[in-house]
Every structure is written in structure tokens, then in C-alpha cells.
Amino acid sequence: MILEARDVRKLYGPFVALDGVSLAIREGEFVSIIGPNGAGKSTLINVLTGTLAPSAGTVRVRDRDIAGSGPGALARLGMARSFQLVQIFPELTVLETLQAAVISRLGRGARLFASLRGDRHVQAEAQDVAALFGLADKAHVRARALPQGDKKLLDVASAFALKPEIILLDEPTSGVSTADKHGIMEILVGAAKRMGLRAIIQVEHDMDIVFGYSDRVIALHQGRVLADATPTAIRDDPRVVDAVIGRKSPAARGSR
């Protein structure tokens, strides 16, 4: 297993946000985490990425216990995260944003702006990532001037620029028009294959995206794993339909 959580609990005072959650992510998988508001999805992602320490249980990356290590330590172990709310620097250009991610990976944070100006290796890597995500023609556009779909792509591209083995995506298509959602996902999945990413985990509300791209779906409800199965089995599970999807669940989009 590339990532595994066992009996994870997270308490906020008397409130139980996660109650014995266990999951395992294998190499090559695209796994979606779904659930209604308050199910514990964001808390789980924060625990898996080291932002929060679990109250009990373990989180392991390649058999190394990383619970509460922090996102910086996990980045060094090959895990990166993109956020539901775009975490880009609005005054930097697309290329500068990607260069900053490359510099962070190379441990040159103290020389950030000098590196942005003069490091050809950093610039070349950033340009390669921009091309993978279809942003090459916008390399010198300031992030704040990008349309929302491109802002989401830039946020994800910044995480990819860290060259992780595992990436966790928090609502990668939120705030994007329906017409643009599948375009973003196709770019993302294509980039993952070309970069040799070993696993993708996403939190997603859009069931069309979930069923169209996932190898496996984990449904959370009230802080517990309600189901962990293929998209077809999830869609046919009446418990998940009632608690998460609703009776008008979309048809699967087909193989990606």
C-alpha cells in the first residue's frame, strides 16, 4: 500500500469528526472520497496530509507513520495537495507561481526571488509543467487575471510541480462551469500519467466526475466509512444513494 489509515479518530472536544476510519490506497489508483456536508471529508484529508494530527489511529505512507507530521514533511516523502480554495499568489505570473513550487521542492526557499529571476533549470521545469497543463500560452499572465478554470489548473499544476508520488485534490473542479469540468479532469489525468504519479485521491461533490474518473470510491457518513467499492457498486448501494448521492444519481460517464 502506498498510503494507509487505520482506525483514525479525530475529536474536537466532545464532537467526533472521524470515528474509526480505515482506508488503503494502492499504487495506480484514482480514489474519490465522497459524503454529505459534515461527513468528515475535509478532516480526513487534513489528517492524511499531516495538517491535523489524529486523536487516535495511524496514518502511514509506505509503512512510515506520518500522523501529524505536517505538509512540509509529507512533501519530502512524495505527497502533495491542492486546495478547494485556490492557493495561488495573485500578483505572480503563471510561470512564477510554478517556479516557486519547483524552488520549494529543491529547497531553495531562501533564494526565492533570486531564483525566479535567474535559475534556468527552475524556469525550464516550470515551463514543462505549464505545457502539461495547457498553460504555456498564459505563462506571463498574472494569476489574478486568469479565468476560474485556469486558476484551478494552476493550483493543481503547482502541486504537480512538487513531483509527488501521491496527490490529494480537494474539490478540483469546484467553482468551475460544468462545461469546463471534464476538460480540467482530462488535463489532470493526462498530466498524472505523463509524470508517473502513483496515486490520486480526490474529495469531490460532482458525482459525474466521481463516476467518470475513479477506480474506487470511499463514501463517508457521520465520520465513518459507509462504503468502499468500485463506482458501479457505489452507485448501486442503496445506503450510499440515500445518504450521499440522492435518488437521481447520474450515469457513469464511461471509461476515461
Q: What is the pLDDT of residue 100?
A: 86
Residue 101 contacts residue 88 (beta carbons within 8 Å): no
Can you give the pLDDT at residue 85?
41
Spans of all domains in the chain: 1-78+165-188+199-256, 85-163
Written as one letter, the residue type at 42 is: S
pTM (whole model) above 0.75: yes
Neighbours of 32 (CB within 10 A): 25
pLDDT value, residue 191: 92
d(CA 102, CA 86): 18
Instruction: Report the distance separating Cα 214 and Cα 28, nearest Å.
Output: 11
pLDDT at 253: 40
Q: Which CATH superfamily is domain 1-78+165-188+199-256 in?
A: P-loop containing nucleotide triphosphate hydrolases (3.40.50.300)
Q: CA-CA distance, 4 to 24, in Å (whole number)?
A: 4
Mean pLDDT of each 10-residue bin along the chain, 256 residues long: 94 96 96 95 90 92 81 77 62 90 72 60 91 94 91 89 89 84 92 91 93 96 97 95 74 43
User: What's residue 41's pLDDT?
Assistant: 94
Contact 125, 47 (CB under 8 A): no
